[in-house]
Amino acid sequence: MKLLVEAPLNSLSFGNVSLNIIREFYNRKLDIGLFPMGNIDLNSFELEQDFVSYIQSSIDKRFSFLDKEIPSFKLWHLNGSENRKNKNQYLYTFYECNQPTDTEASIAKSQEKTFFSSSYSKDIFLEKGCSNSSFIPIGFDNDFYQTEKKYLNNVIHFGLMGKFEKRKHTGRIIQAWLKKYGNNNKYQLTCCITNPFFKPEDMNNIIQNVLEGKRYTNVNFLPFLQKNKEVNDLLNSIDIDLTGLSGAEGWNLPAFNATCLGKWSIVLNATSHKDWANEKNSILVEPNGEFDCYDQVFFQKGSDFNQGTFFNWDEDSVISAMEKAESKARQINTEGQKLSVNLTYSNTVDKILSSIFENQ
């Protein structure tokens, strides 16, 4: 079997998912021609030399895979996936909104199959008439593991990851936490929320606005972490993850990975979260409404892409969930750890390849 692959290789979430899928192709000795999307940056990862050689070899021979008889697999946004290298393209994509535009539906329909990372997105596109839509979950990244290190003693450590966005409720999460725990040094909040699309001075102003000019002794802001090893250390150091309070996600890697490592995640019971978070492995918060997605930065009203609403939550409900999480903070989340066994990249690639080669 031969497969043309188009995917980004970088430190962002798309790049992490791409790398893990390609690594599974490597494990299966699949013959691929690889067209990287954007600049290649593998510095975040610790990779075996044989795998690096496989990536390079697949790039070197990529043009020989330009053949109408060879299927192509693309991992990318809907925006841009109208472009293809070969006739039969299979798209894996993440969708965060809830009102597919005619443009988005046309692009999704034009694929042989469009794989969504959440059943929520798949159902929305089926309702829009995209009968070729299906759901394939992603898996736990085995580069993340329990370090068994001792971190903060006698402190309950909360963590918040992911680039600062209105969609993710980043500012509201921090302010709710400060309302409950600010300057109480029995509790610590570590935020890794740098948005690489913002200028450093703008990012600093955003943080100062969230803090409302006040000083706190127990909240810490980290720069963007360059290495997955550093991310792994952060996830291991926390007791409770707050990243799952995002109002819309295609999967939510930080919250999912933290849960797989046995941490407790407070999770909004909406969008892709429903595909992995439940009342046994997470502390669920029910949404209390929706709000327009438009922030004039990443989501523009009237655009051909990314239209609709995100889910909202009530601050009192979130604070109650934080209090509930406190009682579990020193307990290993064994139900969460089971996710790393049940949701793997091997299973993801099984579903991808069986869909692409089902008639071959």
What residues contact 58, with CB distance under 8 A and at least 6 apart?
A: 5, 22, 32, 33, 34
Q: Do residues 261 and 325 share a domain?
A: yes
Assigned domain for 239 exists: yes
Assigned domain for 306 exists: yes
Domains: count for the chain: 2
Q: Do residues 133 and 166 share a domain?
A: no
Assigned domain for 39 exists: yes
- Alpha-carbon separation of residue 197 from 258, 272, 274 (angstroms): 25, 24, 28
Q: What angle do CA 132, 134, 137 make, to 5 degrees?
A: 155
Q: Do residues 349 and 337 share a domain?
A: no
Q: Which domain holds residue 219?
A: 156-342
Q: What is the pLDDT of residue 248?
A: 97
Pairing of strands 309-312, 289-292: antiparallel
CA distance 226 to 206: 22
Q: Do residues 95 and 59 share a domain?
A: yes
CA distance 173 to 240: 13
Each residue's pLDDT expressed in tens, for the chain with a length of 360 residues? 999 999 999 988 999 999 999 999 999 999 999 999 999 999 999 999 999 999 999 999 999 999 999 999 999 999 999 999 999 999 999 999 999 999 999 999 999 999 999 999 999 999 999 999 999 999 999 999 999 888 888 999 999 999 999 999 999 999 999 999 999 999 999 999 999 889 999 999 999 999 999 999 999 999 999 999 999 999 999 999 999 999 999 999 999 999 999 999 999 999 999 999 999 999 999 999 999 999 988 899 999 999 999 999 999 999 999 999 999 998 999 999 999 999 999 999 999 999 999 865
DSSP assignment of 224-236 = PP--HHHHHHHHH
Assigned domain for 330 exists: yes
Q: Do residues 126 and 257 share a domain?
A: no
Within 10 angstroms of residue 270's Cβ, the number of other Cβ atoms is: 23
CA-based radius of gyration for the chain: 21
Q: Give the tokens for residue 237.
A: 């150091």
The runs of H, that is alpha helices, within the chain are 13-27, 49-60, 102-110, 119-127, 170-181, 200-211, 228-237, 253-260, 315-326, 334-337, 339-342, 345-356
DSSP character at residue 139: -
3-state secondary structure of 72: strand
Q: Do residues 231 and 319 share a domain?
A: yes
The sign of the dihedral angle between the CA atoms of 115, 119, 121, 122 is positive
Assigned domain for 350 exists: yes
Domain CATH code at residue 49: 3.40.50.11930
Q: What is the pLDDT of residue 360?
A: 58
Burial of residue 126 (number of CB atoms within 10 Å: 0-12, 13-18, 19+): middle
Assigned domain for 76 exists: yes
Q: Do residues 278 and 313 share a domain?
A: yes
Q: Do residues 37 and 126 share a domain?
A: yes
Q: Do residues 326 and 209 share a domain?
A: yes
Q: What is the pLDDT of residue 209?
A: 96
Q: Do residues 348 and 329 share a domain?
A: no
Q: Do residues 241 and 337 share a domain?
A: yes
pTM of the model: 0.96
**293-329 burial code (b ≥16 CB/10 A, e <16):** bbeeeebeeeeebbbbbbbebeeeebeebbeebbeeb
Q: Give the tokens for residue 302.
A: 């009237």
Assigned domain for 147 exists: no
Q: What is the pLDDT of residue 258?
A: 98
Q: Do residues 328 and 275 share a domain?
A: yes
Assigned domain for 89 exists: yes
Beta bridge partners of 111: none
